A and B are shown apart, each in its own frame.
Chain A
Amino acid sequence: MDKTTFILNGKETAFTPGQTILEAARNVGVTIPTLCHLKGSTATGACRVCLVDVKGARTLMASCSTPVTPGMEVTTNNERVLKTRKLIVELLLSSGHHDCIVCEANGNCRLQDLAYECKITELKFPRPDTCYPTESENPLIVRDFSRCILCGRCVQACNEVVVNRAITLGYRGSKSKVATGGDGSYSDGDSECVFCGQCVEVCPVGALTEKKAKGMGRPWETRKIRTTCPYCGVGCQQLLHVKDGRIAKVTAVEGAEPNQGRLCVKGRFGYDFLYSEERLKTPLIRQENGDFKEASWDEALDLVVSKFKGIIEKHGSDAVAGVSCARSINEDSYQMQKLFRAVFKSNNIDHCART
C-alpha cells in the first residue's frame, strides 16, 4: 500500500491527495449518489445522501466532504449504507410537498430519482402541515418553498459560482428557509438578485422553476438543441428545450466552453420575442401615401433589384451602401458583403462594430 492509495469496496484504489472520497470514487467509476453536491463550490454535506462507511469512523461519513487518507477503508454499498440512504430519502420525501404529478420538475428531479432507486413505495413519515408560502411575485422565477429540501445548492451557486450573493440560508431549525436580503421576493428593493437563474439551473427538485416554462413541456417531451446565445459577445452555450415548434425553456450546457453551465438573465429568459405577434412575416412595400402594403417575395426583390440597378447605372457604385447585422450569423454577413462587392461593385459595406 503506497501513500496514494486507499481501499474502496475492498479494492486498492489510487487517489490524489486532497481529493474527497466522492471525487476519488467517481474517478474510478464507482457511483455514489449525491443531491446537495455542486461541482465548483465548497461541499456542505447538507443532504447526507452520499454517506459511506469508513472503517473505524464513529458514524457514516459524507463522501462529498470527507478527504481520502492513505489506507482508508471505504465501503459505498453495504447494507448499513443502503438502509441509511433510504431512510434519508424517506425523511426528505416527507419534509415537504413532493407530489410529482403536478410538479414542474417531474422527470427532472434528483429526489424523484433517488426515491425510485431506493425502491420507496410509500411515505413513511407524516408531512408537516405548515410551510412558507410560494413566492411568485417576481416576474421570472417561481420559488415553491413547500418543495425545497434545503440542500443549499442554490445558495452555493449564487454565492460561490456566479457570486451574486443574493440568497442565503435564513432562520434556524424547522424554520430554515432560503432567503434574500430582507427575505422578500427576488425582485424586492432589498434583493440583490439579478435573475441569472443559476439557482433554478442547480435546483435538484421542483422548488425553483422558470415561470415562463410552466405547462410548456415535460422533460421527456422536449427536444434539447444546443446553440449559442444571441445577446452579448461571450458566446454562452445554451440548450433549447423545444416542444411543438416552440422553446419551452433555456438552460446552460454543463461543462461547455466558455460558460461552464452558466447563463445570465437575458440568455436564460430573453427568448420569447420569437413568438411575438409583431414579427415581420411578409415583405412590405411602401405606397405613395406612406402606408406599407404586403407583397410577395418576387415583387419585393424585383423592386429592390430594379432600384439598386437604376441607382448604380445612373450614379455609379459609390451611390449605394449597406449596413450588415452584428446579431445575425456569420454566413449572413459574408453573403451581404459578397453581394455589395461582387454584384454591386461597392466596398460601402459596414456594420455597427464601430458604433
Chain B
Amino acid sequence: MTNSFADFGKAKMIFVIGSNMTEAHPVAATFVKDAVLAGARLIVADPRRTPLVDFAERHVQHKVGSDVALLNSIMYVLISENLYNKDYVDSRCSGFKELKAKVMEYPPEKAAKICGITADAIHDLARELASVKPAMLMYTLGITEHTCGVNNVLSCANLQMLLGNVGVECGGVNPIRGQNNVQGACDMGALPNVFHGYQRVDNPENRTKFEKAWNVKDLPAKPGLMLPQMVEAVGEGKIKGFYIFGENLANTEPDIRHVEHCLKSAEFLVCQDIFPTETTKFAHVILPAAAWSENDGTFTSSERRVNRVRTAHPAPGDAKPNWWIFKEIAKRMGHVWTSNSAREIWDNEIAAFGPSMAGIKYARLENDGLQWPCPNEDHPGTFFLHKDRFASGLGKLVPVEWTPPAEVPDDEYPLVLSTGRRLYHYHTRTMTGRSGGLNDLLREERADISAEDANARGIEHGEMISVRSRRGEVVVRANVTDMIPPGLVWMAFHFREGNANWLTNPVYDPTCQTAEYKACAVQIGKLT
C-alpha cells in the first residue's frame, strides 16, 4: 500500500473497488466503518453486494471484468468536466496527453453498456470522487485476479494520480495483501526477477554486489520462471526438480485436474510444510517445518510494516525452522552460511544488502515495527509513499484498453463464476480447518447464487446443485443470497470437495501471470 492502515479511520472519502474487506481483511474494514461513522463518505464498486455496501453512500455494481471500462470512464468525466487536479498532473505526472486520448474513447454511455450500469452512475461517481480531497482508494484481488489484472491496477493508479491523491495522507493506492507475509515474500526476493529489496537480477552491478555478499561466482542473470510457468514446465518435464515450501498448489491453482497432472510428472518433488496436504501426496520427500509461534522472525504487512514474530513454544517432534533447513541444504552443497538465527539473517544480510531496509534492525522492532523505505538507523520509517515526488520521479499515467475476460458466458455456460475467500476459513483450511470452532461456523463449500437464477432453474436455497465449467464439475450446496446479482455464481477454494478450482480457468495476465480466478463461464443445475 502507498499509505497506512492508520489512514483508514481518518479518511474523508474512501473508494473501495474489488475488495470484500469485511470478510478478507476484517480488522482493516473496522477502520473504514469507523471512518463512515465519523462522517467519511464511502463508495463501493463491486459486482457483489458486499457487507461494506451497508455503509456506502453509493454501490456501483459493475459486471465482473469491466473495471478498466469503469475507471477509464470515470476519468473521461473528470477530464471532460475539468474535475481533475491539473496542477498535480502538470507538475508531478507524465503521460497525460496519451491517457486523455485513451479515456476519451470511454464516454459513460459506452462504458455503461460494458459495465452493466447506468451512464448517470458513472457521472455521479466521478463527481463525488472529485468533490472530496484527498480520497483513499483500496483494492484487493477483485482488481488483480484477471487476465487484465495489471491494467486494472494501472487504472486505479491513473485515477488516483489524476485526482492528485497520491503522495498524501489519507489518499493513495492501497492493495490490501491477502496473506500475512506475501508482502514480505516479495520484499525478500522470492520472485524470479529480483533479489531482496527489489534489486533486479538482470543488472550486473546487483549481481556483483550479491556475488560478493554471498561469496559466490556467476549468479544467474536471466530472470526465472513465474509460478504458473513453473507448474506448466514441471508438467512438460522441463523442470525436473521442484521444491514447494508451504504451498498447497493442488488446491489453490486454477484447474486442479491439470495441476495435479503436472505435480505427478515431477521427477523429484520436495514439499516442506507443517501438515500433510493434497500437494504433499505427490512429494518424494516431505520435510517437517516449524510453524508460526514456533520460531522468531518477522512478517511484513500490507502497509510495508516489518513486525516481529516471536517464539511461544518449540516445534513438535523433529520439525525444524525453515531457514535452518535451507542452510543445511546449502551446507551439504559446500556453501557455509554464517547467519545462524532469523535475527542474524535479518541484521547481517537483509538489512545490510537491502538499501530500502538498511535502517531496520531487530533492536528497533520491539514495539510497532518499522515501515520501509527505512534507509538508515535514524530514519523513522515511511508512513506514506511518493510524498512531494514519486519514487521514480514523475508519476507515470499509462493509457490502458479494456479487454474482456478470457472466457465469457455463452449459451452452454451462461453464468460467470467468480471466486475468493470467506470469513471463517483461510485458503485450503490447513490451519483454520484444524482450529476448534471455525469448522463449526462453516462446514462446507457453497455456491452463492441469485434468487433469479435459482428460481429460473427451480433451485431451492440449501439444495445440492451441480456447477460445471469446461474444466470440471462440482456438487455443492446452493446459497441463494441477495449479495449476488443475476448471472453470477460465487465460490471459494477452502474445501477440497466443491473447491472452485476444479472449475476455474488457467489463463493468466500476460505480464505478471496472475490467474483469472475472478471470471470463467459455468452452468448450474439441479442434480438429476
Residues of chain A whose beta carbon lies under 8 Å from any beta carbon of chain B? 139-140, 160-163, 187, 194-196, 211-212, 225-237, 240, 242, 245-247, 256-259, 262-267, 269-274, 276, 278-286, 292, 295, 297, 300-305, 307-309, 311-312, 315, 317-343, 345-355
A342 touches B240 (CB 8 A): no
In contact, B26 and A345 (Cβ under 8 angstroms) = no
Q: Is the CB of A281 within 8 A of B350?
A: no
Question: Closest A-chain residue to B427, C-beta based?
Answer: A327
**CB proximity of B383 to chain A, nearest CB, Å:** 10
Q: Quick one: which of B179, B223, B326 contacts A232, CB cutoff 8 A? A: B179
Per the bound structure, the CA–CA distance linking A300 and B246 in Å amounts to 17
Question: By the criterion CB–CB under 8 Å, are A211 and B437 in contact?
Answer: yes
How far in angstroms is the closest Cβ of chain A from B382? 14
Given contacts A212-B437, A234-B5, A347 and B222 within 8 Å (CB-CB): yes
Contacts of B332 in A (CB 8 A): 301-302, 305
A232 to B4, CA, bound (A): 15
- Residue from B303, B314, B512 within 8 A of A258 (CB atoms): B303
Taken together as a complex, chains A and B put the C-alpha atoms of A109 and B233 apart, in Å, by: 60
Given contacts A278-B276, A351-B247, contact A320 B240 (CB under 8 A): yes
Q: A351 to B275, alpha carbons, bound, how many Å?
A: 18
Max count, chain B CB within 10 A of own CB: residue among A140, A187, A348: A348
Contacts of B441 in A (CB 8 A): 139-140, 187, 195, 265
Q: Does B184 contact A (CB under 8 A)?
A: yes
Residues of B within 8 A of A264 (CB): 26-27, 423
| A contact residues around B368 at 8 Å (CB) | 237, 256-257
A331 CA / B186 CA spacing, docked (Å): 12
Mark interface residues in B393-416 (1 if CB within 8 Å of A CB, else 0). Answer: 000000000000000000000000
* Least Cβ–Cβ distance between A183 and chain B, in angstroms: 20
A331 and B179 in contact, given A265-B423, A280-B275 (Cβ under 8 angstroms): no
User: Can you add 10 more A-B contacts, CB < 8 Å, to A273-B433, A282-B318?
Assistant: A236-B27, A237-B368, A247-B312, A272-B436, A311-B241, A318-B238, A348-B230, A349-B224, A355-B513, A355-B515
B85: CB under 8 A from chain A?
Answer: no
Say yes or no for B24: interface residue by CB 8 A criterion.
Answer: yes
Given contacts A281-B317, A282-B317, contact A319 B26 (CB under 8 A): no
In the complex, the answer to whether B330 meets A278 with C-beta atoms within 8 Å is: no
Expressed in whole angstroms, the Cα–Cα distance for A340 and B350 within the complex equals: 16
Across the interface, A337 reaches (CB within 8 A) one of B189, B297, B307, namely B189
In the complex, the answer to whether A342 meets B350 with C-beta atoms within 8 Å is no
Verify A329–B309 contact, CB threshold 8 A.
Answer: yes
A323 and B241 form a contact (CB under 8 A): no
- One digit per residue, 1 when the CB lies within 8 angstroms of any chain A CB and 0 when it does not, for chain B 318-342 equals 1111110111111011010100001
Complex alpha-carbon distance, A319 and B234, angstroms: 9
B285 engages A349 (CB within 8 Å): no
* 5 A-B pairs with C-beta separation under 8 A: A282-B317, A284-B285, A305-B332, A349-B224, A350-B190
CB–CB A349/B192 < 8 A: yes
Contact of B276 among A229, A245, A280 (CB under 8 A): A280
Q: Which of B28-36, B69-77, B107-115, B475-483 contacts A (4 or more CB under 8 A)?
A: B28-36
CA–CA, A328 and B246, complex, Å:
8
The answer to whether B185 touches A326 (Cβ under 8 A) is yes
Say which one of B10-18, B118-126, B210-218 lies at the interface with A.
Answer: B210-218
Residues of B contacting A162 in the complex (Cβ-Cβ under 8 angstroms): 30, 33
Q: Is B499 an interface residue (CB 8 A)?
A: no
Query: Please, how many angstroms separate the alpha-carbon atoms of A135 and B142 in the complex?
Result: 38
Our pick among B6, B233, B253, B319 for the contact of A281 (Cβ within 8 Å) is B319
B289 surroundings in chain A (CB, below 8 A)? 280, 328
Cα A263 to Cα B29 in complex, Å, equals: 11
- Known contacts: A187-B441, A272-B435, A281-B288. The answer to whether A234 contacts B192 by CB under 8 A is no
Q: Is B376 an interface residue (CB 8 A)?
A: no
A187 to chain B, nearest CB (A): 7
The reply to whether A233 and B188 form a contact with Cβ atoms under 8 Å apart is: no
- A301: chain B residues at CB < 8 Å are 325, 328-329, 332
Contact A354 B514 (CB under 8 A): yes
Task: Please pick, from B188, B240, B243, B316, the residue contacting A330 in the complex, using a CB distance under 8 A.
Answer: B188
Decide if B179 touches A329 in the complex (CB within 8 Å).
Answer: no
Minimum CB–CB distance for B302 against chain A, Å: 4
Smallest beta-carbon distance B507→chain A, Å: 12
Say whether A350 contacts B275, CB under 8 Å: no
Chain B positions near chain A (C-beta within 8 angstroms): 4-6, 22, 24-28, 30, 33-34, 37, 55, 176-193, 195-196, 201, 210, 214, 216, 218-220, 222-228, 230, 233-234, 238-247, 249, 252-253, 267-268, 270, 273-276, 283-289, 291-295, 297-303, 305-314, 316-323, 325-330, 332-333, 335, 337, 342, 345-346, 349-350, 367-369, 423-424, 426, 430-438, 440-441, 512-515, 517
Asked if B242 and A321 make an inter-chain contact with CB atoms under 8 angstroms apart, the answer reads yes
Nearest-Cβ distance from residue A107 to partner chain B, whole angstroms: 20
A325 in contact with B247 given A270-B426, A281-B318, A353-B182 (CB within 8 Å) = yes
Q: Contact check, A311 vs B322: say whether CB atoms are below 8 A apart.
A: no
Q: State whether B190 touches A333 (Cβ < 8 A).
A: yes
B219 and A342 form a contact (CB under 8 A): yes
A280 in contact with B273 (CB, 8 Å): yes
Q: Known A315-B240, A330-B299, A354-B512; judge A265-B434 contact (CB<8 A).
A: no
Which chain B residues lie closer than 8 Å to A194 at the CB level?
Answer: 22, 26, 423
The answer to whether B243 touches A321, judged by C-beta atoms less than 8 angstroms apart, is yes
Among B25, B214, B294, B300, point to the contact of A342 (Cβ < 8 A): B214
Q: How far is the CA of A4 from the CA of B118 in the complex (A)?
A: 54
Residues of chain A lying within 8 A (CB to CB) of residue B214? 338, 341-342
In the complex, what residue of chain A is closest to B1 when comparing beta carbons? A233
The residue among B5, B335, B515 with the most chain A CB atoms within 10 A of its own CB is B5
Given the known inter-chain contacts A233-B180, A338-B214, A350-B224, please indicate yes or no for A304 contacting B346, CB distance below 8 A. Answer: no
Do residues B245 and A324 form an inter-chain contact, with CB atoms below 8 A? Answer: yes
A191 CB to nearest chain B CB (Å)? 11
A332 contacts which chain B residues (CB < 8 A)?
245, 297, 321-323, 326
For B283, what are the chain A residues with a Cβ–Cβ distance below 8 Å? Answer: 284, 286
Contacts of A187 in B (CB 8 A): 440-441
Would you call B293 and A247 a contact (CB within 8 A)?
yes
Tell me the minimal C-beta distance from A239 to chain B in angstroms. 10
Complex Cα distance A271/B286, Å? 23
Closest to A223 in B: B312
In contact, A324 and B185 (Cβ under 8 angstroms): yes
> How distant is the Cα of A146 from the Cα of B189 in the complex, in angstroms?
55
B297–A330 touching, CB < 8 Å: yes
Instruction: Give the residue name and chain of the B residue nearest to A302 (CB).
Output: B332
Q: Is there an interface contact between A334 and B25, defined as CB atoms closer than 8 Å?
A: no
Taking the closest CB of chain B, its distance from the CB of A345, in whole angstroms, is 5
Chain A neighbourhood of B186, CB < 8 A? 351, 353
- Which residue on A lies nearest to B30, using beta carbons? A162
Contact (Cβ within 8 A) B302 A234: yes
Q: Which residues of A contact B201 (CB under 8 A)?
A: 341, 347
Cβ A235 vs Cβ B307 within 8 A: yes
Q: B288 to chain A: which residues have CB within 8 Å?
A: 279-284
* Complex: A271 Cα to B291 Cα, angstroms: 11
Residues on B with C-beta less than 8 A from A281 are 288, 316-319
- Given A161-B34, A236-B27, A355-B252, decide whether A258 and B5 contact each other with a Cβ distance below 8 A: yes
Q: Name the residue of chain A whose CB is nearest to the CB of B269.
A: A286
Are B426 and A231 within 8 A (Cβ)? yes
C-alpha gap A262/B312 in the complex (Å): 21
User: Which 6 residue pairs spanning A and B have beta carbons closest together?
Assistant: A281-B317, A235-B301, A329-B297, A325-B246, A233-B177, A347-B224
Also in contact, A258 and B301, with CB within 8 A (given A227-B309, A282-B318)? yes
Task: Provide the residues of chain A in CB contact with B313, threshold 8 Å.
Answer: 242, 245-247
Q: A274–B190 contact, CB under 8 A? A: no
Cα A194 to Cα B179 in complex, Å, equals 20
